[in-house]
Amino acid sequence: MHATKGEKVFQGINYGLLAVVSLICLFPMIHIIALSFSHSAYVAANMVTFWPVKPHILNYKFIFEHTSMVTNMMMSIQRVLVGTAVNIFLVLITAYPLSYDGTELKGRNTLMWILVVPMFLHAGLIPNYILISRLGLMDSLWALILPGAVTIWNIIMMQNFFRSMPRELHEAALIDGAGHLTVLFRILVPLNLAAIATLSLFCAVNHWNAWFDGMIYIRHPQKMPVQTALRSLMKVTAHIVGQERFYTPEELAMLSDRSLTCAKIAFTTLPILVIYPFVQRFFVKGVIIGAVKG
Amino acid sequence: MEIRKTRWNLKKNGILYVMLIPAFALLAIFSYYPLYGLVIAFQNFMPGKGFWGSQWVGLRNFRMFFMMPDGLQVVRNTFVIAVSKIIFGNLTSIVFALLLNEVRVLRYKRMVQTLVYLPHFLSWVVVGGVFIDLLGSRGIVNLILSLFGAKPVAFLGNASIFPVTIVVTDIWKGFGWGAIIYLAALSNVDVQLYEAAIIDGANKWQQVFYITIPALLPTIAVVYTLALGNVLNAGFEQVLMLYNPVVYSTGDIIDTYTYRAGLEQFRYSYSAAVGMFKSVVAGALIILSYRLVYRYSDYRIF
């Protein structure tokens, strides 16, 4: 194909424009990270853009020594692992029966309705809050996992995947005497590993990023997930007050509330930033399957 | 023969129902049971008296919401912010998808995609924290503006600017991710169409206007129709992170209003009524949007 001069100019501008757009998406995070490593004098003087100025790691030292954020990070990791496992287990054992027709699973239609209605009809904040506290789940990890344990949309997607598998596969195994659990975990799960991996990633990100439930159901600061802890720490304006005795005057000069807040943001985001480049393509695949799937 | 087969099915298939128990039990407890708490919207609910001991007040809580000036204001704010997000957010995604679709260097394309999808994976606490710093009076955005001689802008502290800040930061977070569905549609366009058009002497612009954009139209129509269900979702977590009392007049939305009434002022019944108003309207709009999509496109969800 022969490109005209106009097309070449357009291509040049387009590549440049997309570079700027990409930079706009990345820059805020880079800027925050740069601030988190910079000397407070330069932070205050607005002399930090892409790179840390007079870099130091005192802000991070402060996080490790004088905040509960490491504990909160552990709570988040626990939540992600347990929460995702619960989500996916429920997706599998629920999607499998629902992938059968009404002739094999009597009442399938009714069951589907019961499953779908909660997607649109929510009781709202107050009844849920009352329920969680009556169940004695306040301050418990389960308050963050159980209410959202049934990921309705994922179940619908998964049963679509199961339905698209050739029927002979199950039937042959069932006639040979295999039980439904064997069919599900020995045949269907291995064949749908890519889809299951993608759903797991989405569940994991949702658990990692959730913070509002932690804000209303967890009162004990040590038990909060890290995102919730970050939010409550951002409400504090004077972080360093009371901690001065742990630092030399030179060190205190390097610290500031602003760069400390930036360090907390960066610390919270670190796991996502590290894992994201490697798993990004799975997410995209998942969205495209979900969107194109009819 | 027939009977034997049925019995075989029943014995074998009983476990299918057993497998459904955990999920449906959880739905019963955490989704269906709280629904009966909706009755508090029609009461003057006192936690000490319980659901059945509290006084019934009919529609008083709903009337109160619509009679108070802040009620209508909150509905209007919600609608304005949500609709702006839908319109401008999708527009940004579409333009971005069209531009990215023209990139021929695959490595470059993938690199751009990796970077623009990133904000989608950050929580609103993180993104909120980032923008509170960036948009503050001493933040880098105001620093750049000052280089051009502009006065500092209170992006988060000026009621007339706040909704714009909300919409723009939401676009920043979501436009790349939102473009995926359009990119998928574009990748399905038959290459032969372009080849035929080139033979017929169509230039690049003509190809875009007569092939690419028409190819996107069904997707655009579906996305905008399904967005109908979101006209009252202005972004609870985002607004809760970024707003403050100074911008309540334009920035307070139904969800944040419900949250404050319920969990900060302990007006449980009033909060439940406002929340219920929202879910009823949103539910109706969702059903309407799905029906429209079912009728006019081949997009299927179930």
Q: What are the pLDDT digits (tens) for B81-103? A: 999 999 999 999 999 999 999 99
> Which residues does chain B have within 8 Å of residue A4's beta carbon, measured at their own beta carbons?
203-204
> Residue A294: what pLDDT?
33
B147 and B275, same structural domain? yes
| CB atoms A131 and B34 under 8 Å | yes
Half-sphere exposure of B5 (CA within 13 A, CB side): 4
- Same-domain check for residues A31 and A66: no
Same domain, yes or no, for B73 and B169? Answer: yes
Residues B22 and B154 in one domain: no
Residue B9 domain flag: yes
Report how far residue B20's alpha carbon sits from residue B29's, in angstroms, rounded to the nearest whole number: 14
In a domain, B171, yes or no: yes
With CA atoms as reference, the chain B residue closest to A234 would be: B129
Look-up: residue for tokens 């002979």? A168
B2: confidence class by pLDDT, cuts 50, 70, 90: very low
Are B33 and B138 contained in the same domain?
no
The average pLDDT across B250-268 equals: 92
Any CB–CB contact under 8 A between B126 and chain A?
yes
Residue A178's SS3 state is coil
Please provide the DSSP assignment of B215-277 as one string. HHHHHHHHHHHHGGGGTT---HHHHHHH--GGGHHHH--HHHHHHIIIIIS--HHHHHHHHHH
Range of the domain at B220: 64-296
pLDDT at position A247: 76
- Both A17 and A91 in one domain: the answer is no
How many Å lie between the alpha carbon of B3 and the closest alpha carbon of chain A? 15
Phi and psi torsions of B137, nearest 5°: -65, -25
Give the orientation angle of helix A152-163 with respect to helix A69-98, to 10 degrees. Answer: 40
For residue B302, tell me if it sits in a domain. no
What pLDDT, on the 0 to 100 scale, is given for residue B300? 63
Global ipTM: 0.89
Q: B300 or B249, which is more confident?
A: B249
Return d(Cα A246, Cα A253) in angstroms, integer.
13
- How far apart are alpha carbons A200 and A282 in whole angstroms? 10
In the 8-state DSSP scheme, what is residue A241?
A: T
* Class of residue B13 by CB neighbours under 10 A (exposed 0-12, middle 13-18, buried 19+): middle
pLDDT at A287: 66
Which CATH number is A287's domain given?
1.10.3720.10
A100 and A227 within one domain: yes
pLDDT of residue B10: 54
Residues of B in contact with A111 (CB under 8 A): 20, 24
Say which amino acid occupies B97. Answer: A
Whole-angstrom Cα distance, residue B152 to residue B140? 11
- The answer to whether A42 touches A48, Cβ cutoff 8 Å, is yes
DSSP state of B55: E
The average pLDDT across A254-274 equals 90
Q: How far is CA A286 from CA A200, A279, B126, in A?
A: 11, 11, 24
CA distance A283 to A21: 21
Q: Are residues A168 and A205 located together in one domain of the fold? A: yes
Residues of A in contact with B126 (CB under 8 A): 227, 230, 265, 268-269
Tokens found for residue B281: 């309207």
Cα distances (Å, whole numbers) of residue B111 to A26, A32, A106: 12, 22, 49
β-bridge partners, A283: none
Cβ-proximal residues to A169 (8 Å cutoff; 6+ apart), any chain: A187, A188, A191
User: A237 pLDDT band (50/70/90 cuts)?
Assistant: low
Beta-carbon separation of A149 and B300 below 8 A = no
The verdict on B98 and B201 lying in the same domain is yes
A55, A77, A93 - which closes a domain: A55
What integer pLDDT is reported at residue A164 of this predicted model?
87
Residue A117 CA to residue A112 CA, distance in Å, equals 9
The residue written with tokens 């994922």 in the block is A154
CB pairs under 8 A between A and B: 248
Cross-chain CB nearest to A49 (options B114, B140, B177)? B140
pLDDT at A174 over 90: no
Predicted confidence band of residue A124 (pLDDT cuts 50, 70, 90): confident
Of B269, B239, B265, nearest to B251 by C-alpha is: B239
Checking if the pLDDT of A267 tops 90, the result is yes
Q: Does B230 touch chain A (CB under 8 A)?
A: no
Please report the residues numbered 48 through 87 in chain B whose beta carbons come closer than 8 angstroms to any beta carbon of chain A: none
pLDDT at B25: 97
A251 is in which domain, residue-wise? Answer: 58-294
Same domain, B86 and B213: yes
Confirm if A206 and A145 have CB atoms less than 8 A apart.
Answer: no
pLDDT at A292: 45
Residues from chain B contacting residue A126 (CB–CB below 8 Å): 37, 40, 262-263, 268, 271-272, 275
Among candidates A31, A150, A265 on the partner chain, residue whose Cβ is nearest the Cβ of B26: A150
Region A102-127: what's the mean pLDDT?
88
Q: What was the pLDDT predicted at A189?
A: 93
Contact A228 B23 (CB under 8 A): no
Query: How many domains does the structure of chain A reveal?
Result: 2
Quote the mean pLDDT of chain A: 88
pLDDT digits (tens, 9 = 90+) for B90-146: 999 999 999 999 998 999 999 999 999 999 999 999 999 999 999 998 899 999 999
Residue where the block lists tokens 């002739």: A103
